[in-house]
Structure 1
Amino acid sequence: MAKILISSLGTGRFSKSNSSERKYDYTIYKFQNTDKTYKTPFIVEALCKCLEIDKLYLIGTSKSMWEEFYYYFSNSSGQTLDEEYWDKLSDMVTNFKVGGQKLTDEDLSKVNETIDNYLKNIKADAIGGSRCFIIDYGLDEKEIWSNFDVIMQIGETLTDDDEIYLDIPHAFRSIPLFLYIMIDLIRILKLKNDFKVAGLYYGMLEAIGDLGYAPIVDLSPLYNMTLWTRGAYDFLNFGNGYLLADLISKQELSDIIRNISDIVNINFIDEFKREIDHLSGLLKDTNTVDPIINYMLPYLMTFVERFKGINSSSQLQFALAKWYFENRRFAQCYICLAEAIVSRILEEYRARDSRIKWNNDSREKVKYLIHRTDFGNMDKFKDMCKIYKEISSIRNLIAHAGFADREAYKEAINKINTYIRCTESLVFKNKHLKEIPVLFPFDKLANN
């Protein structure tokens, strides 16, 4: 694990006494909840010291003040300044023109070394590996995508359990915004292993006049808002509440959402109903949840209300089938549709005789009944049997990982909506289902 600070470097301002010398003004920085201050022209220095950073990734254009950064951090940590390199770097930066030859990794190699030596000076066990990244101004789409590639290179270096700290400086304001978006994208793609955005810092220079110092504010809650948004979206639309569960501080609520996510993915219906009812009660107790949940409450309750209060297993399976279809989870849709038909018929048997068990043997008997010729030829059940057999055939194909003719998957997807409508009319609105236990007594049904 490494603590990595990602910041950007601007062009600075020319000194009043020397029109060719660029400088940042010294500023007193102060973190929240501490009395310690840091007087420095670079907020990066304050962040590195306070957070005990292991390595720094510094992003800038070929016009950024690399020469001043090198000069300052060499001197502040007692390193020997290579004046020839400093002069050469100053000339390259000063003479750079937009569209010209950009600085290279080799041009900034000594800046990288200086940063690592500085970090080891303030933290003996700093692991090193600091690096400067050159980007374009982002003036057009080509430059934006070029910058995209550079940030993705940063993503390639991030490893499991790294702690990432982002600095939002005043210079090149588009860069911090771009970096913020890209880090979120990298987290989603997980180009490497998972990492944690541990801080999102902004040095509030505009408050100096009132406070006498620039407070360093942690804006991590803004980044976490994107996580909350994505977590809620995944849960409401796909039943995957794992990210949302990780964000919720109330353990009981977090566990329920994680359980529902597991159940939705494995398709265990009875447990789903119990957990949904439990979730409904917890969401109504707003004193037990994170404040942000209060804003999501109407949307979460919409999800809950869709399934809450459904009394029968067949109705719940059918409701889930429709929800799966709306969210394009076609395999689960077919599974629930097939099982909803079996459940609906078994419910009629159990309504006549509560001793009939709700188990796999009973369900196998119902499936055998559906395939019986004398049952399937009856006008009032014929279409229902036909629909079940078609749905079950596709469901079995899915269960065997879809080894079928080419383009079969498209036909299976195109038919789902028709199958849902037919299941509703031929099964759930079929008034003749009550006659089945009389016409075909349960104790006379075979199960193979």
Structure 2
Amino acid sequence: MTIMAKILISLLGTGKSAKNDNNKNNYTTTTYKFENNNKLYRNQQYATNPIIEKYKIDRLFLIGTSESMWDNINEIYSDNDDSDYAYKILEKKENADIDDCFLQPLNDKISKKLPGSECFVVLPGDNQEELWGIFEKFQKIIENLSEQDQLYLDITHLFRSHSIMSLIVAEFGKIRAGFKIKGIFYAMLKKDEASVIIDVSIFYELLSWGQAISNLKNYGNSFELKKLINTNIDDKNISGKFNQLSDAISISDMRSLQKSINSLSQTIDNFKTSSNKILPLIASDLEDFFNRFKNQSLPEFQLNLSKWYHENKNFSMAYMCLAEASVSIMCKKEKLDDTNKDNRKEAKDILFSWSDYKNNKKLSTKEIEIGKTFKKINNIRNNIAHNLPASNSSSKSSPNDSIKNLDDYIKVIAEWL
């Protein structure tokens, strides 16, 4: 996929105060370097410039308060002496009177080197209203990013609330627009040696892994976890097996899903002992998931899968699995091969005959209950699968009743097993 643009959002702080005079304030000049890289970036006041150089940033968005060091940024990006505008910045900064419109000349200067760049003034964030205002400024940037763009964040300067907000809005925007967050940088100032710019996106990635695990355990959605494993895990054996598991979940292939779970459960020690820092953290969650389903007969597996989908509020899949579990249980009771299509039809016919208790006086009370329950399950399952209108529906159960009664249906079939 072609990369449209590399975007850097950088937070601009206030530096040392310059109250009561027009002398510009500064950050301490330092030498920067990146973690695990010996290249030195000397005589720098901001981590922003080394990030721009190293990652070949295309567009810069600067966010600061009216008292941030816009004068220093103006000095960096001015090709000639613009003392009048520089003085006005200092004067307005002294009075906390800088706004977005006033910074338009600075936008133009930065855009000569990084086209499309822009500066935004935000409030300190001392209350809920100001926080929403900060969110709206961040959102103005984020909403113009495309799926192909790559976003970098520099959270070194400004107030910590702004750093937190930048992370939250970036995640919010990523979910909506689909762009990639490639780096989150924080520079640690050191006096007697090079200040290191570290990528702290690992903490952000932990949130993504946690959400992906939650999606699998609570919603039956394995897509995000599959994507993270394929992106971050070098072990092709693990990623390949998890891809099979995810695909089986996605299309509800119960036999393939059972096979994948049994196969992956045998590799759980690889997760626990992996050199990758993330895998051991999620190993116990995956192990709990695998243990719930591994080494079960087909009827047991299908029934537990129905329970799982029910817990995850995926009621249509719960009904499909419950209907198939009922047929598999009958195959087991009648000693029929449950992999044979004709045998499964025979088992289903027996279940239907149990529902016709008026013409079959030899049925026990339990068999009648199972037959009636299966008929309801199967009718609801068919209506869901074929999207039948109410006039042609074989089941008169409303969606609300189908959801409400599902737990009782599962209990009837589970007791029979």
Displacement of 1:316 in angstroms is 0.6
Partner Cα distance (1:359, 1:414) in 2? 33
| Structure 1 letter corresponding to 2:46 | F
Asked if 1:113 is matched to 2:116, the reply is: no
Aligned to 2:191: 208
Asked if 1:42 is matched to 2:37, the reply is: no
Aligned to 1:24: 27
Aligned to 2:67: 63
- Decide whether the 8 Å contact of 2:27 with 2:45 is kept in 1: yes
1:377-416 to 2 correspondence within 5 Å? 378-379=363-364, 380-401=366-387, 403-404=389-390, 408-416=398-406
Partner Cα distance (1:260, 1:358) in 2? 20
Displacement of 1:204 in angstroms is 0.5
Partner Cα distance (2:92, 2:398) in 1? 62
Displacement of 1:86 in angstroms is 3.2
Partner Cα distance (1:230, 1:161) in 2? 23
SS in 2 for 1:263: helix
Aligned to 1:93: 93
- Decide whether the 8 Å contact of 1:321 with 1:334 is kept in 2: yes
Displacement of 1:134 in angstroms is 2.4
SS in 2 for 1:57: strand
Select which of 214, 226, 230 maps to 2:211.
230
Query: RMSD in angstroms over aligned alpha carbons?
Result: 2.5
- Pair 1:170–1:96, CA change in 2 (3 A): closer
Displacement of 1:389 in angstroms is 1.1
1:405-444 to 2 correspondence within 5 Å? 408-425=398-415, 427-428=416-417
SS in 1 for 2:278: helix
Partner Cα distance (1:12, 1:390) in 2? 71
Aligned to 1:122: none
- Decide whether the 8 Å contact of 1:239 with 1:261 is kept in 2: no
| Structure 2 letter corresponding to 1:40 | Q
Displacement of 1:93 in angstroms is 2.9
| Structure 1 letter corresponding to 2:384 | I
SS in 2 for 1:59: strand
Displacement of 1:141 in angstroms is 1.2
Asked if 1:172 is matched to 2:172, the reply is: no
Displacement of 1:288 in angstroms is 5.1
Partner Cα distance (1:142, 1:18) in 2? 31
Asked if 1:103 is matched to 2:99, the reply is: yes
Partner Cα distance (1:289, 1:323) in 2? 31
SS in 1 for 2:63: strand
Aligned to 1:266: 251
SS in 2 for 1:197: strand
Query: Number of residue pairs matched?
Result: 399
SS in 1 for 2:158: coil
Partner Cα distance (2:250, 2:400) in 1? 23
- Decide whether the 8 Å contact of 1:282 with 1:288 is kept in 2: no
Displacement of 1:382 in angstroms is 1.0
Partner Cα distance (1:402, 1:63) in 2? 64
| Structure 1 letter corresponding to 2:211 | R
- Decide whether the 8 Å contact of 1:242 with 1:257 is kept in 2: no
Select which of 151, 162, 166 maps to 2:149.
162
For structure 2, the 5+ residue unaligned runs are: none
Q: Deviations over 1:60-96 (max 9, x none)?
A: 122322233112321xxxx234444333333333223
SS in 2 for 1:62: coil
Partner Cα distance (2:304, 2:379) in 1? 21
- Decide whether the 8 Å contact of 2:65 with 2:123 is kept in 1: yes
Partner Cα distance (2:276, 2:221) in 1? 19
Using the TM superposition, name which of 154-163 and 317-326 deviates more.
154-163
- Decide whether the 8 Å contact of 1:5 with 1:55 is kept in 2: yes
Using the TM superposition, name which of 27-36 and 322-331 deviates more.
27-36
- Pair 1:40–1:262, CA change in 2 (3 A): same
Using the TM superposition, name which of 144-153 and 395-404 deviates more.
395-404
Displacement of 1:45 in angstroms is 1.4
- Pair 1:202–1:376, CA change in 2 (3 A): farther
SS in 1 for 2:96: coil
Partner Cα distance (1:272, 1:290) in 2? 26
- Pair 1:159–1:316, CA change in 2 (3 A): same
- Decide whether the 8 Å contact of 1:31 with 1:37 is kept in 2: no
Displacement of 1:7 in angstroms is 0.8
SS in 2 for 1:139: coil
Select which of 195, 198, 215 maps to 2:179.
195
Asked if 1:290 is matched to 2:290, the reply is: no
- TM-score, structure 1 length as denominator? 0.82
- Pair 1:268–1:166, CA change in 2 (3 A): same
Aligned to 1:256: 241
Q: Deviations over 1:135-162 (max 9, x none)?
A: 2221111221222222222221221232
- Decide whether the 8 Å contact of 2:380 with 2:397 is kept in 1: no
Partner Cα distance (2:19, 2:352) in 1? 92
| Structure 2 letter corresponding to 1:91 | E
- TM-score, structure 2 length as denominator? 0.88
Asked if 1:12 is matched to 2:15, the reply is: yes
Partner Cα distance (2:64, 2:227) in 1? 34
SS in 2 for 1:246: helix
- Decide whether the 8 Å contact of 1:263 with 1:269 is kept in 2: yes
Aligned to 1:131: 118
1:302-313 to 2 correspondence within 5 Å? 302-310=288-296, 312-313=297-298
Percent identity over the alignment? 31
SS in 1 for 2:181: strand
- Pair 1:252–1:235, CA change in 2 (3 A): farther
Partner Cα distance (2:75, 2:293) in 1? 65
Aligned to 1:431: none
- Decide whether the 8 Å contact of 1:231 with 1:244 is kept in 2: yes
Partner Cα distance (1:81, 1:381) in 2? 93
Aligned to 2:339: 358
